[in-house]
């Protein structure tokens, strides 16, 4: 799931860090 969103946020600085924080909450 993260692999699909990662590329979009990878272009933004600090975007990837947000996904890591949101991922645990979805689980």
For residues 16, 18, 24, 26, the Cα torsion angle rounded to the nearest 10 degrees is -110
Cβ contact 4:23 at 8 Å? no
Q: What pLDDT, on a 0 to 100 scale, did the predictor assign at position 8?
A: 65
Question: d(Cα 26, Cα 13) in Å, to the nearest integer?
Answer: 22
Nearest to 10 by CA among 20, 23, 27: 20
Q: What pLDDT, on a 0 to 100 scale, did the predictor assign at position 23?
A: 63
Q: pLDDT tens across 1-27, in order? A: 556 666 665 566 665 666 666 666 656
């Amino acid at each position: 799931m993260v692999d699909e969103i990662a590329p979009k946020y990878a272009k933004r600085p600090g975007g990837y860090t947000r996904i890591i924080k949101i991922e645990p909450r979805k689980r």
